[in-house]
Structure formats: C-alpha cells, structure tokens
Structure 1
Amino acid sequence: MRWTGKAPLLVILGATATGKTGLALQLAERLNGEIVGADSRQIYRGMDIGTAKPDDEQRARVAHHLVDIADPDENPGLAVIQDLANTTIADIQRRGRLPMMVGGTGQYLSAIVEGWRIPEVPPNETLRRELEDFALSHGSEALHRRLADVDSVTAARTHPNNLRRVVRSLEVWHESGRAISEQQHRYPPPWRVLQIGLQLERETLYARADRRLEAMVEAGFVNEVRQLLEAGYSRDLPSMSGLGYRQLAAHLLDGLPLPEAIDAAKTATHDFIRRQLTWFRGHHSEIGWLDVASLKTDAIENDVQRWLAEN
C-alpha cells in the first residue's frame, strides 16, 4: 500500500503483562505490519527471558525493530532511540508497510509518538556513577530532592524510583548548565497516529504479572542472570534494573533465598505497573482503551482498516 497523505503509525501500548505482543503479532500479520519496539529493556542483547522479548518464531513471523541493539553495558540515550525509531518508521512507511510501535516505556512513547526532542548532551559516565552511588548510599528520595533543587518541573513529573531518568536529568543540568525541562521542545512527527491501549483490572493484572514471572523462572530466568553476571556485567548497570534482574542477582551473589527474590521481583513489578498506569492516565485523551478481558481481534482489525482507509 502507498500512502497518499500523512503516513500512518499504529501504536499498541499498555502496562506490562497486558498481552501487547500477542495482539500486535496478530494485527501485523493481517495488516502487512512491522513491529517497532517501545521497550527500554528489550533493546539489550542477552536479556531475553526476563524482558519477555519476542522469540525466534515470533520474529520469523513478523519483522521486529529496536530489539537487540545494545550490549548490557551500553546505555543508549533517549535521543539515540528516538532517532533510530524515527528512521525505522519512515523506512517501513516508504516500503508501503504499516509501522506498529508496541510497548509500555512511557519515555519512548512520548518522544516518538508526541515528537518531544531531547537535548543531545553526551553522557558523563563518571558523573553517572557518582549519582548512582549517592542514590545507593542516601536513597533515591535524596537524589530526587537534588533534582528538585535544580529542575522542579522535571522532578515533579519523575518518580523518585525512576533512577535512570533522575540521573540523566541531573547529568544534563550539570553538563549544560540548563534544566532538561528548558531544553525539551515538541516537534509533531510527520505521520498520523492511532493509539490502542490495553487495560485490565489492576489486581487481575498483578496476578497475571506474577504468573508470568513464575513462568520466566521456570524457563531459565535465573540462569540468564547467572550468564550475564559471569560475562562480567555488573548488577548495578542500568540494564540490570529491569524487572527481576537485580532481585535474582541478589539471589546469586548475596545468597538471598530464591522464593524471597521472586517475591521481591513481584513487588517491584507491581510498583512498575502503578507507575505505568500513572503515565498512561496523563495521556488518556489520546489513547483508545480496550479491556483485555473482552478483546476481539477481528473488531480491532476492522477499526484499524477503517482508520487506514481515511488516508
């Protein structure tokens, strides 16, 4: 298909464990689509089970992009991810196929779907380590207060436990002398967007996430973390802050009993889901929400086809 007007971008988003991947695969096969990942942990090579990364069979069915693009000790910034995504989406559209952005990482979705440009301040690894060490010794709340002192706008919309964003915001202020909130600008992207959100009653979602984590452990999640540690990747790397990784590292390195590590990972997952839902609430007017419990793929496909026909 060739687009005569603004080229389309279909977005499928939702909290972890809502079933985004399954729906995206079905729609991509029916709609000549390719999937562009919006998951900040699936970008890392060797982190497959714990990130619920699409497996070889799924990737053979549908082309996936922005998956396995970095080693665990690399830390591509949001501006890098944004540029990669924009280039990939444009290439998919040029080939007459439908780009489908799928994931639940709010920063990625904001940057790419809404067109927020991020200041291109090079990383300062020494400063990052100092800030991360400060958070470890004084607590994430204390580091968040330091951000509030220099950039109250960013601090107000950043959860103290979002260490990666707090550190990056302080880094931008330190390196450029200006708050990151003063340097962000919105440039609406050159495509029209349809956003589909998957939602589920919270306690049901927690239970699904818990069962998924247990299935990951049965599938070899502990061994995956062991292999990463044996390869020399520190548990303190940003990549290892993904759900379950740091808790299972504590099991392997500190002797934390596995049941306790799993319980800690479940608690962290519930906290993460709450933060995701908070982000989605702030963007509710732009998202068409569907209840996972009554999802009908045929009806969704028909709605998307009608939207595409409006082009």
Structure 2
Amino acid sequence: MKKTVIVIVGPTAVGKTNLSIEVAKQFNGEIISGDSMQVYKTMDIGTAKVTPVEMQGIPHYLIDQIEPNEAYSVADFKEDVQKYIHEISERGKLPIIVGGSGLYIQGALYNYHFSDKQRDESITKRLEEQLEKHGISPLYEYLQEVDPAQAEKIHPNNHRRVIRALEIYETTGKKMSEIEATQTKESPYHIIFIGLEMERKLLYEQINHRVDLMMEAGLLAEVKRLYELGLKDCQSMKAIGYKEFIPYFEGFQELEEAIELLKRNSRRYAKRQYTWFKNKMDITWYSMNPDEKIENYKKILKDIEGILKKI
C-alpha cells in the first residue's frame, strides 16, 4: 500500500506556508520542509523559515538540523524526507511537503539514486573561478562537448546547473544526462501535488515587500554574523538572501545595491521555480489572489478532501 503524501509547491512568497498549516489542521497532517536551506540552524530570516507562532502547534521537520558550516546534498535530503514520510505515516498522520527545491523534492519522491561520491569542493571551486575569470561561454562549450544532451536542457545563464553538470562529470566520469535517464518515472508514494501561482506583477511586489520585511527583521545582522564566523565559502552562504551581502561586507558594494540585487535574484528564482515545476511534474495549479485567500483555501481543501476519499 503506497503512502499518501501531499506536496505544496510554487514560487517563493506565493503563500505556501500559510496554506500548509491549514491543510495540516484539516487533514491531521505534519509538515516536512522541502526547502533545502531551512535545514541550517540560525539561518532563519533569509530562508523565510516558519516561526513557532506560524506553526500553530503543527510539527515541522527538516528545519534546524545541521550547522551552517556543514554540507547537505540532494542525497541527504532524499534520505531524510523518506524517513520522515515513513515515521509520520506510521503515526497515522498525513505527511505534507512544502517547498521549495524542485530537484530535491523530485529526487525524494521518485526515489532517485544519487552517486555515493561526495561533492568535490576543489572541482567546484575551480569551475567557479573559471566562471569568474572567463565567463560562462567556455564552461558551457565544455559541457556541450562532454554532455551535449544535458547542455540542451540547461540555459547558459543558469551558471549553477552548468557547473553542477560539469562537476558530476569530472567527479564520477558519468554524464548527468545518462544518470537522469536511468531514474525511475514512478513514485513509491501516492502524491497529491498542489501548485500555487500568482500573477507575475503581483508576485514580484510580494517578493520585494518580503525582502523589505526581512531587512526590518534583522537579515543584515544574521548574514553578518555568519560572515564574521568565516563561513562565506560554505554551501549555506551561497543561498539567495546571504550571498548578495558579501560584496557589501567586503567594501565592493553599497547596501542599497545589495538589497536590490537580493530582490532581483529572488524574482528570478521565483520564475525558475515556477518554470521547473511546470515542466517536470504533473501538478494541479491554483491562482492565489490575496484578496480571495479564503475562497482559494476552501477550494483547495475541498479538492484535497475529494482526492483523499478516492484513495
């Protein structure tokens, strides 16, 4: 018997956290964070981590598990998510994943097999230095040479994915396209996908406002503390919300520029999230208009109830 999992996805700042609490209260659920950055302790404001008050007594998992100087891979995430799905289901509760990180969620839900080899930070650093010195073109041409099928799937502007594909090739000797082709298309879970979307102009206004609220809540001090601990080269500090302030701390940028860069990167990330989920998963999408929040929630809860009755 497949375990049932509800998965709530969508771009940043669209309202996933609030909906997840309502779904958990209605259907006796417990929540697993699908945001791979919320696993880090003390990185609260920049990751938009749910607060104890917002939780309303609903148990949350995969939050505050490791220190900011520790690495956390997609394979680690998969193992943790599957463990929590099992434990929550065994207690007679309904697991609800809220995210976030598209590849991570897909890998966990479809039981992808990841390489046992750890990330080679020296290779990543070398590729990042090449990017900084020579731009993306030579790296993208290299990817086209060693893994043309994967290069077709990745836009040259997506520097992180280009570097990741090359890192996998250099670390394992395998093409990322070949690894992806061997992955299973069927999930061991019965998944109810709920996608939240919002008119772009309105979403971007929400994102900009959220960044302003983060700054008021002390984001700068949060990032500065991590920077002063010497963590600027750690995986955790490469996240949006943190990396944008490093040039400011090092005297290369004004604070206002860093804030605007954070807003821009957050908007672009939201667009990438939306596109990724649209292309990769079979999701039922709901338009979220803040003026119709109650009506939106009622429809989603009713639809979930109907699906659960059929399982």
TM-score (ref. length: structure 2): 0.91
Correspondent of 2:144 among 113, 123, 148: 148
The DSSP-based 3-state class of the residue aligned with 1:189 is coil
Residue 124 (structure 2) pairs with residue 128 (structure 1): yes
| Alignment check: 8 A CA contact 1:119 1:180 kept | no
The DSSP-based 3-state class of the residue aligned with 1:289 is strand
| Alignment check: 8 A CA contact 1:24 1:35 kept | yes
The 5-angstrom pairing of residues 43-192 of structure 1 reads 43-59=39-55, 61-184=57-180, 185-187=182-184, 188-192=186-190
Moved more, 89-98 or 290-299: 290-299
The DSSP-based 3-state class of the residue aligned with 1:134 is helix
**Separation in 1 of the partners of 2:12 and 2:239?**
12
Q: 1:221 to 1:265 in 2, by over 3 A?
A: same
1:11 CA drift (Å): 0.6
**Separation in 2 of the partners of 1:217 and 1:227?**
15
Number of the residue aligned with 2:302 = 302
Number of the residue aligned with 1:226 = 224
Correspondent of 2:242 among 236, 240, 245: 245
**Separation in 1 of the partners of 2:59 and 2:155?**
34
**Separation in 2 of the partners of 1:81 and 1:170?**
21
Gaps of 5+ in 2: none
Kindly provide the amino acid, as one letter, of the partner of residue 104 in structure 1.
G
C-alpha deviations, 1:129-169, integer Å up to 9, x for none? Answer: 21222222222444333223212222232344544443332
Identity among equivalent positions (%) equals 34
Moved more, 236-245 or 36-45: 236-245
Correspondent of 1:29 among 25, 45, 50: 25
Gaps of 5+ in 1: none
Moved more, 30-39 or 55-64: 55-64
**Separation in 1 of the partners of 2:8 and 2:164?**
27
CA RMSD, Structure 1 to Structure 2 (Å): 1.9
The DSSP-based 3-state class of the residue aligned with 2:249 is helix
TM-score (ref. length: structure 1): 0.91
**Separation in 2 of the partners of 1:211 and 1:56?**
22
Number of the residue aligned with 1:261 = 258
Residue 274 (structure 2) pairs with residue 274 (structure 1): no
Q: 1:173 to 1:142 in 2, by over 3 A?
A: same
**Separation in 2 of the partners of 1:106 and 1:122?**
21
C-alpha deviations, 1:203-225, integer Å up to 9, x for none? Answer: 11111100000000010000001
| Alignment check: 8 A CA contact 1:119 1:183 kept | no
C-alpha deviations, 1:256-279, integer Å up to 9, x for none? Answer: 222221111111112212211221
The DSSP-based 3-state class of the residue aligned with 1:194 is strand
| Alignment check: 8 A CA contact 2:17 2:98 kept | yes
**Separation in 1 of the partners of 2:159 and 2:135?**
10
Q: 1:44 to 1:165 in 2, by over 3 A?
A: farther
C-alpha deviations, 1:179-227, integer Å up to 9, x for none? Answer: 1221233333322111000000111111110000000001000000111
1:27 CA drift (Å): 1.1
**Separation in 2 of the partners of 1:81 and 1:96?**
23
Kindly provide the amino acid, as one letter, of the partner of residue 67 in structure 2.
D
| Alignment check: 8 A CA contact 2:36 2:77 kept | no
Number of the residue aligned with 1:206 = 204
**Separation in 2 of the partners of 1:29 and 1:161?**
41
| Alignment check: 8 A CA contact 2:38 2:44 kept | yes
| Alignment check: 8 A CA contact 1:13 1:198 kept | yes
**Separation in 2 of the partners of 1:163 and 1:17?**
23
1:106 CA drift (Å): 1.3
